[in-house]
Amino acid sequence: MAFIEISKENYKHNIEFLSNKAGGKDRLMVVLKDNAYGHGLEIMAKLACGFGIKKSAVKTLEEAKKINFLFEEVLILADHPPFELQDESISYAVHSLDGLRKFPKMSCLHVNIDSGMHRNGIREDEIEDAFNIIIENDLNLKGIFTHFRSADEMSSEQYWQNENFNRSKKIVKKLIKKYGLPMPKFHSCNSASLLRRKNPLQDDFARCGISTYGYTHLHENFGKFDLKPVMSLWAEKLSTRSLKKGDRVGYGGMYELKFDSYVSTYDIGYGDGFFRYDGLSELILEDKSVCGRISMDSLCFLGDEKKLCLFRDAHYLAKKFGTITYDITTKLSPYIKKVVV
């Protein structure tokens, strides 16, 4: 069956590289949402824990419950407030005053500040209202954070948003002192914003997702970064047939053999989350051209190798299909077997 290889060595390399940028492993939160960007939630969580990482972030409560025993804290980034109080190792990101009011007493929360992305978060002029709700409802404020909208682009917006967040941090610190509350952790840097930093990290930690898996979409003017892709995708042969010059392969007969050859079918297709290819132009996967259209459950190549690697680095496929590396890895079916090597 088709399988994904997870390079333990490459993942460790990326974690150490990013930890050094952040100022230590205790200042790095690894983002494991959406099945660890397609790499396998529980596999990557165990590896991160084994490498000394103490904090992680996921999308849902369901994901958090699978891995919270491995970390001091798991932050849920994009789920609705729960009806019941969760384990103290599980924290929720809060994106609005209305959402803040819905949490059970004693819930552990990180409040999102809208510093300019305008996707969600509490405005600067709502911070004191948020504190009133936190105190009134006896909530546990563990963090204050924001998210940069243009960290991987050549623009000054990173600096503008950072100044906005710094101003909000000052307001928060005054309110913390006023109400005698424990100081929350501050965090704002994602992968791109951490990588492009020249000065030491100002926040308590950085949240890194795509870079831990070996990718960045930073403009080349920011330089090159020593990141190594963690995932490679492999397919295994289902069958082989001997075909003649002029024979056509697959749906629509899109591929015509230019010489007599063996053609083999392999066990992965767009039903497994791989991109659908229409066969109208050449698609090369690890130096081998796909023969015709990619089907729901299979694709074809010349030759009769028992297994083939479809990609070791998602950048090529992302460019070919007009998307980003996130899209390539997260679309892969969670049912594809994963092997740590």
A 10 A CB-CB count for 65 gives 15
- Selecting among 105, 178, 245, 251, the annotated active-site residue is 251
Q: Which of 21, 25, 33, 169 is catalytic?
A: 33
Q: 3-class DSSP state for residue 233? A: strand
- Return the number of other C-beta atoms located less than 10 Å from residue 335's C-beta: 9
From 125, 128, 127, 86, select the one nearest 109 (Cα to Cα): 86
Supply angle C-alpha 195, 200, 206, rounded to 5. Answer: 55
- With a CB cutoff of 8 Å and minimum separation 6, the contacts of 79 are 59, 60, 61, 92
Instruction: Clarify whether 251 is annotated catalytic.
Output: yes
DSSP 205: B
**What six digits make up the tokens of 320?**
């070919």
Which residues lie closer than 8 Å to 178 by C-beta, 6 or more apart?
none
Whether 59 is catalytic is: no
User: 175 — phi, psi (to 5°)?
Assistant: -70, -35
Residue 292, SS3 per DSSP: coil
E strand or H helix at 46, and its extent?
helix 41-50
Task: Work out whether strand 206-208 and strand 28-31 pair parallel, antiparallel, or are unpaired.
Answer: parallel
Residue 286 near residue 312 (C-beta atoms within 8 A) = yes
Distances (CA, A) of 36 to 67, 84, 133, 209: 12, 26, 33, 8
Distance of CA 44 to the CA centre of its chain: 11
- Tell me 105's DSSP state: T
| DSSP state for residue 104 in the 8-state scheme | P
Rounded to an integer, what distance in angstroms lies between the CA atom of residue 160 and that of residue 325? 27
- The catalytic site residues sit at 33, 251
